[in-house]
Structure 1
Amino acid sequence: MVYTLNMGLPACFGLWMSAPSFPAGRAVPVAADCSNNLRPCLAGCLLFLIGLFISVPGRAEVVAVLFPDVREPFRKVFVSIIEGIRAHPGLDARTLALTPGTDQAAVQAFIRRERVQAVIALGKRAYLAANAVLDDGDLPLVLGALLLPPGSRDATGMTGVSLAVDPYPLFETLRQLSPAMETVHVVYSEDSLSWLVERAQEAAQLNGLKLVRHGVRSRREGARMYRKVLKSIDGRKEALWLPPDAKSLDERAVLPLLLREAWRSSFVVFSSNPVHAKRGALFALFPDNRQMGAELGELVIACLRQSHQRCPQGVRLTQALQSAVNTRTAEHVGVTLNNGERFSLKFPVR
């Protein structure tokens, strides 16, 4: 039997709170009289409430996404992150590409015009632009596409996802591919990457490896240190990790030298940059940019659920990684890729 509910929502709540017991087995007409027939009315109320909540779609939160207007292949990174943000059903992302001519007034006008509830800043230029126009506590600010140091003094009060790859899966992959490895060398900038290398120290120990740290203060000093490491490295049990550090590694002059010597001496080089694997490093683990965008979207939603605007959720390392392997290098250094299919990318491309 179909019941017709001819009462409003307040009446439903009133009946629910004051309902007497209703005798079972009593016949009820199609158009229920709620004063005499309470049970069908309560059932109708329940259907009314369910329909009320189901029929009202969730409102997407408008979020501004600021990113630098750069050329390919760098632009592709930001586009992929933005795709991940836009895939979140609870967000409506409005983008602004920052050119060298984009001033503070233009950013303010964009944020005001789009009536955003939060801002995501991708890259250093976007972070500086957003920080300049947002008053403290004005709108939630979430950062991405930066080498942010989780848990350090520099990241206090910040919310975002760091571009840095957690060293633990890097070393875990190294042990899986080359179980004989005992030592990992790393050359890094003491000014900008000490936090990551300190984290790597613990990750290496957990994977049964010894991490030998070579801190430098410039590219020139880094070049000298790399040459020193090349003279002493034992490829049978030692490997070289290339961290994401432009201040210590000259990609044009020093990287080709490292990869040539690694090939000649048959020692393992691994990295967080897929381009390095393409050029001859054994493997690389690197962020899945689209999934990183999804992580940023989740952070924005978490911020908007809080009462205070600045939302100090903290900085986290991305949990979404992709992998690349150079099969030619693997064969050359004696690594058998029984599980090679697990890598996202394989070089050389056949």
Structure 2
Amino acid sequence: MKNITIALFAALALLAPGGAALATGSALQSSVVAATTAADSGMLIEPIMDVVTIPAPLRADVRPVTLAQLEDQLRRPEVQASLNKGSIAVVYPNVEEPFRSAFLAMIQGIEDRIKLKVRSYPVDPRVDTAELNNTLKRSGTKVVIALGRQGLNATAGLDREISVLAGGVLLLSESENVMGISMTPDPAMLFSRLRLLLPELRRIIVVYNPAKSDWLIKLAREAAKAQNLELSAHVAGDLAGAAKLYSQLIAAADNRHDAVWLPHDSTTVEESTILPLVLRESWNSNLPLFSSNVLHVKKGALFAMVPDNVELGRTLAASAMGVIAGEVRRRPLVPLRELQTAINLRTASHIGLNLGALQQRSFDFVYPQP
């Protein structure tokens, strides 16, 4: 599949304090599209090169599965028989390019894993859920992989005997009671990459709204502890509170041992007011700043991690096979671990981090163009 980079967040004016940070490659720069469509789809990036493996400790609730185990699972007679009957289906948003290519990349990954074509149903916002339910039942569907918020919403009226796995949806919360993979990067992987870049790091500062990010901060605390880091988490319920906290925290931070993390949180990482403030003040303080949103790297953040859509599809397929094989039917929502990484070399140089050619090649997206 032709490589296409897709970012489902609005392209605000480039912000790199002290100068502009330019994107690498016209494909990434030209693919940024309107936020109104983004809200229905999530943030999706198709891979453009091999994914860099970043070591990160597994949480206690994540059971490691080897490729050999997955292949053994696929060869089980009952799983093969069920797959051949079309028991896995995919529901995804009926959207135009460049968004469509991201969902098709996920479907490619699903088919790569199960070695079969899957029934795929593009759905509109006003889909007839009863008709969709009847169609899926007639085809013998046991598991639906719902991609994007629009795809997930379309599965709300399905019969309970049809299991739903969500993928390609940004900021799912535990309260939605959905199995699947959020598009929010796993904090363990973010922190692991940060430690590779800044070995002397001791503390990660984050400002969050519990209503939006409490589940993610719980995971972040575990990840930080496992990597001998302190997570300094501060609650803000509105923009004014977030702005005040950032100013205080950045002013008091130690730029040798501290870093600021920007999660996916529309309250504390609001794009038009909060983000420019945090980027400017962290730049002036030489304080490392990293993000869960790739577009923030374009604006001046040190690095971010973004989805690898094909790999995400493969993981979702493996989970669906597990459901069909009779494994645990209810697993918690998990953050995304199928990731690629973007780096801003100008920001790295500004904080005294000079990356050689070999290190630069370990990143999938580089700003500005070398």
Shift of 1:77: 3.8
Shift of 1:70: 4.5
Which residue pairs with 2:15 in the alignment?
Answer: none
Going from structure 1 to structure 2, the CA distance change for 1:195 and 1:66 (only over 3 Å counts) comes to same
- Partner amino acid, structure 2, of 1:246: S
Shift of 1:76: 4.6
- Where does 1:40-55 land on structure 2 (aligned, <5 Å)? none
More displaced 10-residue stretch of structure 1: 167-176 or 219-228? 219-228
**Within 1, Cα distance between the matches of 2:94 and 2:265?**
22
Going from structure 1 to structure 2, the CA distance change for 1:130 and 1:322 (only over 3 Å counts) comes to same
Going from structure 1 to structure 2, the CA distance change for 1:68 and 1:217 (only over 3 Å counts) comes to farther
Paired residue total: 288
- Where does 1:1-350 land on structure 2 (aligned, <5 Å)? 59=84, 61-70=86-95, 74-112=99-137, 114-132=139-157, 134-137=158-161, 139-146=162-169, 147-148=171-172, 154=175, 158-306=178-326, 311-338=329-356, 339-350=359-370
Going from structure 1 to structure 2, the CA distance change for 1:317 and 1:331 (only over 3 Å counts) comes to same
Deviations 1:242-284 (A, max 9, x none): 1122232211222122222222221111112221122211111
- 2:144/2:163 contact within 8 Å kept: yes
Q: Choose 1 or 2 for highest CA Rg.
A: 1
SS at match of 1:185: strand
Q: Which runs of 5+ in 1 are unaligned?
A: 1-52
- 1:59/1:90 contact within 8 Å kept: no
**Within 1, Cα distance between the matches of 2:335 and 2:276?**
29
SS at match of 1:174: helix
TM-score (norm 1): 0.72
Going from structure 1 to structure 2, the CA distance change for 1:174 and 1:189 (only over 3 Å counts) comes to same
Percent identity over the alignment is 34
**Within 2, Cα distance between the matches of 1:71 and 1:268?**
37
- 1:155/1:315 contact within 8 Å kept: no
Q: Which runs of 5+ in 2 are unaligned?
A: 1-76
**Within 1, Cα distance between the matches of 2:216 and 2:360?**
28
SS at match of 2:166: strand
- 2:85/2:140 contact within 8 Å kept: no
- 1:155/1:314 contact within 8 Å kept: no
More displaced 10-residue stretch of structure 1: 241-250 or 73-82? 73-82
Shift of 1:180: 2.7
**Within 2, Cα distance between the matches of 1:202 and 1:300?**
27
Shift of 1:293: 0.8
Report which structure shows greater RCO (CA 8 Å, sep ≥6): 2
RMSD: 2.9
**Within 1, Cα distance between the matches of 2:280 and 2:200?**
22
- Partner amino acid, structure 2, of 1:212: S
More displaced 10-residue stretch of structure 1: 172-181 or 105-114? 105-114
Shift of 1:333: 0.8
Shift of 1:223: 3.2
Shift of 1:71: 5.8
